[in-house]
A and B are shown apart, each in its own frame.
Chain A
């Protein structure tokens, strides 16, 4: 058990070590985009920074955090040591090497292609190699997770798999399906071109493969937060989980519905017909279902806890909740941000409405609210919950932790609400310099300055997070009980096999993927030739951006 804890702790360390500098970069990027003077104001540095921020947040922080979370959940929910710990350590080393390779290449200025790669832009092969090792290495984690669940099922025939383990296995399977897209893109298209084995690059095929990853990866990030919603929040609030079955259903639906939908990232791309775009757009709407289920279930669990604590009346249970618990506060703030971001997302995924906000700051605002807001704030709460249990050293001050969460919440709102508005005004995302002398752009200036302020608040919150964790790390040993999970109101005695394993759901996903992506990907091999010369990215830090 001690071994599993160390495994989780090492992963958390890498995740949060990458997190703080990435937040700093984000704040600096806002400053560069704003009318205010910025240090190192240079468009080449800006694009390198966006690449580093995106790569760190989307690949490094999330992958390491989720892997660490998975190891901790597998060990504690099954109440036995991890099987395949040696493989897990090998995976950790491979992912770390990949991270160092990718980060070093970005810092050298030869990989400013943003984390979505944007072929036919071409970065150094070291960057793609690093990304491949990082994502490929996490497949070891996938195997370890599935192995642990099946081994437990073999040892406990007929018993329902504990919900946390079931959910983390769903996460692993989801990630395996999702990562297939980007791994194929790296292996089949980008790496061969980067090493000079091919001359041309099929940008349309590459983008389509990446779209397989692009939506499901968000749910891979989201899953630890949802797992906390179901299994950690009710306990922290002092109640029980509303429904175990609803949790299983939600995780199964997330697995099935978040995969055949990635083409809603390609609505504006010419290489696909309108039919497949509409098909995947309408499948995307189904993703709303598990999220609504989860919000309903989480609120119901909180209401149970509130009433147990003496809350009366229609809404009296809300003030009765222990809002000074970081986990409870985090879920409240996360649901607000999830709601705001989610409604924005409905516009993004609508085939027709997307055109209004395509590639504007609106999109950046959407995924910062969902991921940077709702998900990351739950990562914080999970860290506050797990860190003391792993190290045996409790947080010195829960009030400070709550203050950090509040700061993050307000920082994220102050950053993203102006982005939404600027996006509707037509401000493009991922652009280094704006000519604020232009009257059309000048009216966006105050909004951008507001989001700079939000960025500074977020940076302060991120620093506070590290301070809290480090302070706890050097505190006295006082805590011994290991992580516990909420029990359902009606704990499951037996569950149907469809809700206790993934065989059926993998088959359904496979069929859906063939139907949704078979033709869109297959067409490039038979009907359309889109190969174009690649555009190499070299070190292009010029002196002085224009303003």
Chain B
């Protein structure tokens, strides 16, 4: 009898047991594993039971709101109740950087004179709540009350010779044509529908405005350019509907420079 059932079963059992021990005990434990993986965990991995055995779900970033401000009647009433006189007192905190009359002496600091009070009010609240990050402004805004914000907004909104009034100037010659040769004029007045970029002027003037969007004509050019870059890189995230992050992401650095130069020219 050269090959009986006993030999056949015995051989197969031996082969199986040896392979099983190597595959499940030895390799599972010692192959490229640090001491962190215990014997039981190694065995579980060898049978394919790892923590990630369920279907992968897309990671969800924590919910984050861009701002605390909503343009409700109550908010607008609070802003319009701002007192210019008390605002002048609060504005003493601002004068060192933004100028006593709200006209910035520095290219990197925005001019506030003539800015829409709703814009100033919202930015102060964003600084206070950490939605917009800039060390000095965060510290200053933190000590202001809501009413202080409304008051100082009213004060700066009424300062003369700063930002141009939004309705003061229309579209230039050549109008809102997409065939405009000057790239800054084309972006400002016609946008670039191919990339989903609306004209800047539709919200920031000249000729039109939108609640919460500052008029930019007369603003510091380098400040505008820096804000566009911050939106593009996601450093600044307090635009309520992400519109500035989306638009700035589409702009090339040269285009950012061009539109900032257009708005900054006095």
Contacts and interface: CB of A to CB of B under 8 A. Distances in A.
Interface of A: 245, 249, 256, 271-279, 282-283, 286, 496, 498-499, 504-505, 508, 511-512, 515, 519-520, 523, 527-530, 532
Interface residues of B, number: 29
B3 A276 contact: no
A527 B24 CA distance: 19
B12 interface: yes
Given A275-B43, A504-B5, A527-B53, 19 more contacts: A245-B2, A273-B49, A274-B46, A275-B46, A276-B23, A278-B19, A278-B46, A279-B16, A283-B16, A496-B1, A498-B4, A498-B8, A499-B3, A504-B8, A508-B12, A519-B47, A520-B48, A529-B54, A532-B55
Contacts of A504: 5, 8
Interface in B30-65: 31, 43, 45-50, 53-55
B20 interface: yes
Contacts of B3: 249, 496, 498-499
B92 interface: no
B94 to A, nearest CB: 58
A515 B5 contact: no
A498 to B, nearest CB: 5
A530 B23 contact: no
Contact of A498 (B5, B45, B47): B5
B217 to A, nearest CB: 50
Contact of A496 (B4, B18, B23): B4
Contacts of B19: 278-279, 282-283
Given A279-B19, A512-B16, A530-B55, A271 B48 contact: yes
B16 A496 contact: no
30 contacts: A273-B46, A273-B48, A274-B23, A274-B28, A274-B31, A275-B27, A275-B28, A275-B43, A275-B48, A276-B23, A276-B46, A278-B22, A278-B24, A279-B20, A282-B15, A282-B22, A283-B16, A286-B15, A498-B3, A499-B3, A508-B9, A511-B12, A512-B12, A519-B47, A520-B48, A523-B47, A523-B48, A527-B49, A527-B53, A530-B55
A256 B13 CA distance: 13
Interface string B208-238: 0000000000000000000000000000000
Nearest to A269: B48
Given A519-B47, A527-B49, A275 B23 contact: yes
Given A278-B19, A282-B23, A498-B4, A272 B12 contact: no
A496 to B, nearest CB: 6
B58 to A, nearest CB: 14
Smallest CB-CB A-B distances: 3 pairs: A273-B48, A275-B46, A278-B23
Contacts of A275: 20, 23-24, 27-28, 43, 46-48
A222 B18 CA distance: 29
A519 to B, nearest CB: 7
A256 B8 CA distance: 11
A275 B24 CA distance: 5
Interface string B86-127: 000000000000000000000000000000000000000000
B48 A276 contact: yes
B142 to A, nearest CB: 50
Given A278-B23, A504-B5, A504-B8, A528 B53 contact: yes
A35 B20 CA distance: 47
A515 to B, nearest CB: 6
B43 to A, nearest CB: 8
Contact of A274 (B4, B16, B27, B55): B27
Contacts of A511: 12
B15 A273 contact: no
A511 B16 CA distance: 11
Given A283-B19, A529-B54, A273 B45 contact: yes
B55 to A, nearest CB: 7
B20 to A, nearest CB: 6
Given A273-B48, A274-B27, A496 B2 contact: yes
A167 B48 CA distance: 38
A245 B19 CA distance: 28
Nearest to B16: A515
Nearest to B53: A528
Given A274-B23, A283-B15, A286-B15, A508 B8 contact: yes
A273 B20 contact: no
A206 to B, nearest CB: 16
Contacts of B9: 508
Contacts of B46: 273-276, 278
A507 B41 CA distance: 33
Nearest to B45: A273
Contacts of A256: 12
A512 to B, nearest CB: 7
A293 to B, nearest CB: 13
Contacts of B22: 278, 282
Contacts of A528: 53-54
Contacts of A515: 16
A282 B16 CA distance: 9
Contacts of A505: 8
Nearest to A503: B5
Nearest to B25: A275
Contacts of B5: 498, 504
Interface string B48-86: 111001110000000000000000000000000000000
Contact of A529 (B23, B31, B55): B55
B12 A273 contact: no
A523 B22 CA distance: 21
A169 to B, nearest CB: 17
Contacts of B1: 496
A271 B52 CA distance: 11
B48 A272 contact: yes
A11 B163 CA distance: 92
Contacts of B15: 282-283, 286
A90 B64 CA distance: 69
Interface string B145-175: 0000000000000000000000000000000
A512 B15 CA distance: 11
A275 to B, nearest CB: 3
A278 B46 CA distance: 9
B47 A276 contact: yes
A420 to B, nearest CB: 28
A211 to B, nearest CB: 14
Most buried by B among A245, A508, A530: A508
Contacts of A276: 23, 46-48
A305 B251 CA distance: 84
A279 B18 CA distance: 9
A156 B168 CA distance: 114
Contacts of A527: 49, 53
B106 to A, nearest CB: 51
A249 B8 CA distance: 11
Contacts of A273: 45-50
A515 B23 CA distance: 13
